[in-house]
Amino acid sequence: MINIFKDQYFIEHYETGFVETGIFLPNDLIEEIKQHYQTVEEGRNDFPKFFVSNEHLAYVEGEEVGDLFVQSPDVATEMVKNLYDMSYSKAVYREQVFLKRVCQHLLDNGFQKFFKTRYLLVGYDMYLRSKHGQMAAGIHSDLPNFHHFYETENDLTLYIPLIDLNEKNGGRLSVLPQKKLKIPSHLFLNLLLDFFSKNSSYLDDAGYINPEKISSELMDEFVQTKSFKDLLVCYKMLTDLAKSQYADDFVRPDERRGKVLLWNNKDFHAADTWNNSEQDREVYIIRLFPLYDVNIKLKSKLHGNLFNNHLFDFETGEIVQFDDPVDVSQLTKQDKLAL
């Protein structure tokens, strides 16, 4: 994080788990976002799609759960679907309708000032909606996932509640600051790099690993490597520790409708239950990724749809849109981060 945030904001994130941008979306944009997602069918939940071909991640919940997911993926997928249906009435990924406008609004309001790094990839957006009485998310970290393939401990989330999250309404996000406990998820990208760069058939012309060329069989081989299994054991131990030793150290700020909050979804986090029976909890989210000086190409599609094709350029103050995923090999070395 130290090479991403300017020092003052690095400290704010390290100590509190958040960076408060103080930037609000205009009310008409908030209303437009709400109206757009109102038209998405009730009950649409994209979370279970992430479990397909990632069943091994269930070992972080314990051996029995892991075995169930690996040996009976269909049963497990149904369980995951039911679990998420209990938590969200809608969870909608990658509509990208408001992504550029929100990013432009941020730049127009001085968003550049938070960053040392020149670029941040704008991966995809998501919308979460829950009703009164729906289950809240317990303590967890969003584990790196093969559907994205380019995740590290420095991923950033723009978190924009479309309704106040406070003591009365509930629904507040809480995060365990990195000064208390932190996950070593850079290692994930390093392990991918080590494993897949050995075989030239997965490389593109620029010598970058092309995740879309990797077969599911080879991905399974990677999952079986000792180093990746060790990393999962480490995730499990840290998650257990976060739950057993650090539950009282989570920071839980009140958040106002339309206010843009920055945090890192690799940090341990949880959400409060939603207490408002008159209005639903709605949050609009955009995921940002630092770009590294590593030979890994960005994936072009998330669940079949184009993503990874917007880039924050804080030097020019622009949000740049491409027809394809951002081509990391075209960015100069000094504008990328060392892994």
| Residues lying near Fe ion in the complex (CB under 5 A) | 142
**What are the phi and psi torsion angles at 77 (to 5°)?**
-60, -40
Q: Quick one: tokens of 157?
A: 């989330």
| C-beta of 26 vs 138, nearer to Fe ion | 138
Rounded to whole angstroms, the Cα distance separating 286 from 138 reads 21
| C-beta of 14 vs 47, nearer to Fe ion | 47
**Is there a contact between 122 and 150 (Cβ–Cβ < 8 Å)?**
no
Shortest gap between Cβ of 270 and Fe ion (angstroms)?
Answer: 8
| C-beta of 19 vs 143, nearer to Fe ion | 143
**Is there a contact between 284 and 88 (Cβ–Cβ < 8 Å)?**
no
Identity of residue 82 = N
Shortest gap between Cβ of 110 and Fe ion (angstroms)?
Answer: 28
Shortest gap between Cβ of 252 and Fe ion (angstroms)?
Answer: 15
Shortest gap between Cβ of 242 and Fe ion (angstroms)?
Answer: 13
Shortest gap between Cβ of 176 and Fe ion (angstroms)?
Answer: 12
Nearby residues of 189 by Cβ (< 8 Å), 6 or more positions away: 144, 150, 151, 152, 292, 294, 296, 339
**Is there a contact between 164 and 256 (Cβ–Cβ < 8 Å)?**
yes
**Is there a contact between 118 and 335 (Cβ–Cβ < 8 Å)?**
yes
Residue number of the CB atom closest to Fe ion:
142
| C-beta of 270 vs 328, nearer to Fe ion | 270
| C-beta of 118 vs 172, nearer to Fe ion | 172
Residue-by-residue DSSP string for 60-108 = GG-HHHHHHHHH-HHHHHHHHHHHHHHH-SEEEE---SSHHHHHHHHHH
Rounded to whole angstroms, the Cα distance separating 309 from 121 reads 8
The backbone region for 207, taken as left when phi is positive above 0, alpha when psi lies in -120 to 50, beta otherwise, is left
Shortest gap between Cβ of 84 and Fe ion (angstroms)?
Answer: 11
**Is there a contact between 98 and 29 (Cβ–Cβ < 8 Å)?**
yes
**What are the phi and psi torsion angles at 56 (to 5°)?**
-60, -25
* Paired residues of 209 in beta bridges: 203, 296
| C-beta of 285 vs 337, nearer to Fe ion | 285
Nearby residues of 316 by Cβ (< 8 Å), 6 or more positions away: none
| C-beta of 84 vs 111, nearer to Fe ion | 84
Rounded to whole angstroms, the Cα distance separating 229 from 223 reads 7
| C-beta of 142 vs 153, nearer to Fe ion | 142
Identity of residue 71 = Q
Of 329, 328, 313, 338, residue with least CA distance to 120: 313
| C-beta of 136 vs 203, nearer to Fe ion | 136
Shortest gap between Cβ of 271 and Fe ion (angstroms)?
Answer: 8
Shortest gap between Cβ of 232 and Fe ion (angstroms)?
Answer: 17
Shortest gap between Cβ of 86 and Fe ion (angstroms)?
Answer: 15
